[in-house]
Amino acid sequence: MKFIPQSIAEIVLIETVIHGDERGYFSETFRQDKFEEAIGYKVNFLQDNESKSSRGILRGLHFQLPPFAQSKLVRVVEGEVLDVAVDIRTGSPTFGQHVSVLLSGENKRQLFIPRGFAHGFVVLSDMAIFSYKVDNYYSAESDRGLAFDDKELDIGWQLSKEELQLSIKDQKQPVLENLGQCFSYGVSYYA
């Protein structure tokens, strides 16, 4: 596995080694010791989730408030998505900035999004199966979001606004300016 810090260093792109022959392929998609060595701290993933979505479905930008904040390790099993993480840590030198990465069943890349970031993705292929690990359970009371189309964020979703399909909840999320302080830069949200 190759671990590549992104323009926001806490977000890490993971490229896996693919071993293939005429029978198919094999790939190690997660290994706790190498993962923790690369990011520099312990993350205890508790749950795996999977979603299937069609082209234009945009899910996000989501996060959970402390103490129910979540780190995510995301990947695409089939299809292609544009995956986006936004720094929402007040006081961070990269506050309001984002990282976007193409993840696909073909490139087998993964993205690690730590606590303190809002996360979302849009499906670029006809269909995509999106899989991810989280290190905290879902909490409806702490579930929050950020407007996907906030002009301050300037996210290029690669599809026109008319092509996008969002849940009613995601259509009504606040812009960054109205989000309030959810996370503080320099504070560890890990036990």
Q: What is the pLDDT of residue 107?
A: 95
State which H helix or E strand residue 1 sits in. Answer: none
Q: What is the pLDDT of residue 68?
A: 96
pLDDT band at 25 (very low <50, low <70, confident <90, very high): confident
Neighbouring C-beta atoms of residue 118, cutoff 10 Å: 26
Q: What is the mean pLDDT of residues 153-158?
A: 97
Q: What is the pLDDT of residue 85?
A: 98
State both tokens at 61. Answer: 């930008």
CA distance 123 to 126: 8
CA distance 142 to 159: 30
pLDDT at 83 over 80: yes
Q: What is the pLDDT of residue 24?
A: 87
Q: What mean pLDDT is reported for the chain? A: 95
pTM of the model: 0.94
CA distance 18 to 170: 36
User: Percent of the chain scored above 70 by pLDDT?
Assistant: 99
- Residues marked active site are found at 62, 132
The answer to whether 53 and 122 are in contact (CB under 8 A) is no
Diameter of the chain by CA atoms? 54
State both tokens at 126. Answer: 């006809």
User: Percent of the chain scored above 90 by pLDDT?
Assistant: 88
Q: What is the mean pLDDT of residues 34-46?
A: 93
Q: For the chain, give percent helix, strand, coil, nearest 5.
A: 10, 40, 45
Q: What is the pLDDT of residue 74?
A: 98
What are the pLDDT digits (tens) for 89-136? 999 999 999 999 999 999 999 999 999 999 999 999 999 999 999 999
User: φ and ψ at 37, to 5 degrees?
Assistant: -65, -40
Q: Which of 135, 70, 140, 131 is nearest to 105 (CA)?
A: 131
Q: What is the pLDDT of residue 43?
A: 93
* Domains identified in the chain and CATH numbers: 2-184 (2.60.120.10)
CA distance 69 to 63: 7
Q: What is the mean pLDDT of residues 161-167?
A: 96
pLDDT band at 17 (very low <50, low <70, confident <90, very high): confident
